[in-house]
Structure 1
Amino acid sequence: MYAQERQEHILRAARTAGRVEVAELATELDVAPETIRKDLTALERGGVVRRVHGGAIPVERLGFEPAVAARDVVLTAEKERIAKAAIAELPEDGAVLIDAGTTTARLADLMPGDRELTIVTNALPLASKLAAFPNLNVLLIGGRVRSRTLASVDAWAQQALAGLYVDVCLLATNGVSVERGLTTPDPTEAAVKAAMVKAARRVVLLADHSKVGHDHLARFADLDDVDLLITDSGLDERTAGELAAAGPRVVRV
């Protein structure tokens, strides 16, 4: 197992159990405890865990929101598959709203070059990449830019969205559960996401399995506001069925 694969396994275990122990991970992965400690140090530098005595805790349990650079290197294969599946939801022409997120960001490298689309986004990196496509009309939503997510938020962004109506919204989230719906740590991002949901004819949620079952501070949508949830095969069938019963069609890739 390569170091990146091992670290992704450790992070998944931490998010599932709420904590990981060095000794248990060393036995499970058949490596030296010092190797696990180096992995935990790397994950802490990436901003996704905090070291504690004998192990580590995911930052979500401590009330922190990982920066986009830290989240971008986690579950990369799953995010790639989800983004590829999302491309099939794009119309042949028309308007598409794309939320800021590490999964939605991957759409920039997969966007078809044969469709005349208007892309509306609040994600600065995504807008910058898509602007190079001659067939796309890219509209960047203005507002205050959050350094942690590189997303435009606050009143300007909400006002712009209030006057729009698009064919489909490709939405991101930090957490999704049957009990609480869609949640994110920051209220200003939640307000923009809620406006995106209202501005779209169809809402497609892109969320890897690590987001399922986790709730954050600010709720911005119910599950029945979502038409389609695209996730990865790491989500078990029973949980997928529970989510589908609450509203959206669920596709695991």
Structure 2
Amino acid sequence: MLKIDRQKHLEEELHTYGSILISTMSQKLNCSEETIRRDLKEMESQNKLKRIHGGAFLPDADDKGAPVQLRETFFSQEKERLAACAINRFIKEGDTIFLDCSTTCLTLAKELVQRNQKMIIITNSLRIINLFSNQSSNLKLISLGGTFRQRSNSFTGYQTTDAISYYIADKCFISNSAIDLTHGLLDNNMSESQVRKAFISQSRKHYLVADHTKFSDTAEYKITDLKDIDMIITDKRLPDVWEDKLQQCNIPICYC
């Protein structure tokens, strides 16, 4: 297949589904994954898409983050390791916890459902809520309503943040889009940033659970300063500049 035809097909898939996987497209188009990567790189330079680990997507005007369906496909082993570490070291039976709509917190919730310990989970994530649909569990679920965001499969808006204000959780677990040395925790969507900010405001302990790539990424909306985080849980050793900054802020790092 000619490059022009291949890229036309990639563009059609993106406009149909919003995101594509390199592995899937290489099978569909009967070419190597490296060929698809080169095509996506060229198309990104033409502002036709945004590349991400393992695929590409179409950013919209209000949210430049990847759709949840795409985010679920990468760093799955790292997320499982982070989730197990967070549960084993920082969650105990009887806790009330906030979980955001990240795929990292979804992985954490799946592990909690399997362990079936007595605790309360409060979330705005539809995917976490759906874990309880056929589950007889010791876990109690409190779901937060609001305006549904298909891109993240979550509920946001003033109804969500108003509902959060009625609760005080022992701990919140946040896995936002990016962490910045100067500006702190950042998000790709303003409404989602307000939900995460409310989680932090209404909980006693604040845990940032993030793979190493988020410490070199960027986003447009501020959630809160680094000083408002009590613990960072990540998968790889951070650069010295980050370790120095977190030491200045008295934020311990848990490497999993």
Q: Normalising by structure 1, what TM-score?
A: 0.76
Task: Tell whether the 8 Å contact from 1:190 to 1:218 is kept in structure 2 after alignment.
Answer: yes
**1:51 match:** 44
Could you give the per-residue CA deviations for residues 214-237 of structure 1, whole angstroms, max 9, x where no partner exists? 231110111111111101115345
How many equivalent residue pairs? Answer: 213
**2:17 match:** none
Task: Tell whether the 8 Å contact from 1:91 to 1:167 is kept in structure 2 after alignment.
Answer: no
Could you give the per-residue CA deviations for residues 126-164 of structure 1, whole angstroms, max 9, x where no partner exists? 112145242011000000111111111001100011111
Task: Tell whether the 8 Å contact from 1:204 to 1:229 is kept in structure 2 after alignment.
Answer: yes
Of stretches 89-98 and 202-211 in structure 1, the one that deviates more from structure 2 is 89-98
Secondary structure of the 2:172 match is: strand
Q: Distance in 2 between matches of 1:125 and 1:250?
A: 28
Candidates 182, 186, 190, aligned match of 1:183: 186
Q: Calculate the aligned-residue CA RMSD, in Å.
A: 2.6
Secondary structure of the 1:36 match is: helix
| Letter aligned with residue 115 of structure 1 | Q
Secondary structure of the 2:208 match is: strand
**2:35 match:** 37
Q: Are residues 1:160 and 2:163 paired?
A: yes
Over 3 Å counting, the alpha-carbon distance change for 1:35 and 1:139 in structure 2 is closer
Task: Tell whether the 8 Å contact from 1:223 to 1:247 is kept in structure 2 after alignment.
Answer: no
What is the correspondence of 1:215-226 to structure 2 with a 5 Å cutoff?
Answer: 215-226=218-229
Over 3 Å counting, the alpha-carbon distance change for 1:125 and 1:216 in structure 2 is same
**1:98 match:** 99
Q: Distance in 1 between matches of 2:219 and 2:43?
A: 18
Q: Distance in 1 between matches of 2:120 and 2:232?
A: 22
Over 3 Å counting, the alpha-carbon distance change for 1:141 and 1:50 in structure 2 is farther
What is the correspondence of 1:67-86 to structure 2 with a 5 Å cutoff?
Answer: 67-86=67-86
Task: Tell whether the 8 Å contact from 1:178 to 1:243 is kept in structure 2 after alignment.
Answer: no
Q: Are residues 1:115 and 2:108 paired?
A: no
Secondary structure of the 1:100 match is: coil
How many angstroms does 1:100 deviate by?
Answer: 0.8
Q: Distance in 1 between matches of 2:102 and 2:158?
A: 20
How many angstroms does 1:57 deviate by?
Answer: 5.9
Secondary structure of the 2:171 match is: strand
Over 3 Å counting, the alpha-carbon distance change for 1:83 and 1:40 in structure 2 is farther
**1:202 match:** 205
Task: Tell whether the 8 Å contact from 1:225 to 1:247 is kept in structure 2 after alignment.
Answer: no
Secondary structure of the 2:173 match is: strand
**1:30 match:** none
Candidates 135, 153, 162, aligned match of 2:138: 135
Q: Are residues 1:145 and 2:138 paired?
A: no
Over 3 Å counting, the alpha-carbon distance change for 1:50 and 1:105 in structure 2 is farther
**1:124 match:** 126
Over 3 Å counting, the alpha-carbon distance change for 1:163 and 1:252 in structure 2 is same
Q: Distance in 1 between matches of 2:98 and 2:91?
A: 10
Q: Distance in 1 between matches of 2:232 and 2:216?
A: 14
Q: Percent identity over the alignment? A: 23
Over 3 Å counting, the alpha-carbon distance change for 1:152 and 1:35 in structure 2 is closer
Task: Tell whether the 8 Å contact from 1:178 to 1:246 is kept in structure 2 after alignment.
Answer: no
Q: Are residues 1:65 and 2:65 paired?
A: yes
**1:171 match:** 174
**2:21 match:** none
